[in-house]
Amino acid sequence: MSRALLLAVFVCLSTTAAAEEKPTPFDQGKVSISGGIQLQTDVNDNFIVISVGAGYFIVKGPALELSTSAWLAHDPFVATITPGARYIFWQVPFLHPYIGSFFRYWYVDGFDDQQSVGGRLGVVSVQRPISINAGLVVERIVSACDDCTDVYPEFSLSFSF
């Protein structure tokens, strides 16, 4: 009888484990593509920021990311390139928390280039094949600035394949 019970428990656990392993957009080898257009306003004028990015999940959960942005109709012209890493807690249902870090290189036409580092945290809601990301970013300029820390929200849509 104990063998039959042991076999029944093993079958139940195997079935449960298989059911929990549903494919997610955060699985190893998945790629996410994101982009955005923002209308920004500063003291002197309005301008548009266009950004694109991609991420690659090296294993289920952690992703290596790379994004770039350009500030159009802005004087001076500004562009960034941002490598980073993010971990998405895929185990949490519905709203998946994430945490990440990045390095950003700032090109500002006519000025010295700048570098910044930052961290982000937030949540991802998956509506296949689209993921909606909402979070908070803390970024600090590390070159030529004593007190240049900024905190701002981030929102994005990504497509996974």
DSSP secondary structure, 56-104, as one string: EESSSSEEEEEEEEEEET-SS-EEEEEEEEEEE-TTSSSEEEEEEEEEE
pLDDT of residue 118: 97
pLDDT of residue 8: 54
Q: 73 Cβ partners below 8 Å, 6+ apart?
A: 45, 46, 47, 48
d(CA 10, CA 13): 5
Q: What is the pTM of this model?
A: 0.79
pLDDT of residue 45: 76
Q: Give per-residue pLDDT as tens, 87-104.
A: 999 999 889 999 999 999
**8, containing H or E segment:** helix 2-20
pLDDT of residue 44: 73
pLDDT of residue 11: 53
pLDDT of residue 100: 98
pLDDT of residue 95: 94
d(CA 13, CA 9): 6
Q: Which residues of the chain have pLDDT under 70?
A: 1-20
pLDDT of residue 87: 97
Closest Cα to residue 44, out of 79, 75, 11, 78? 75
Q: What is the CA radius of gyration of the chain?
A: 21
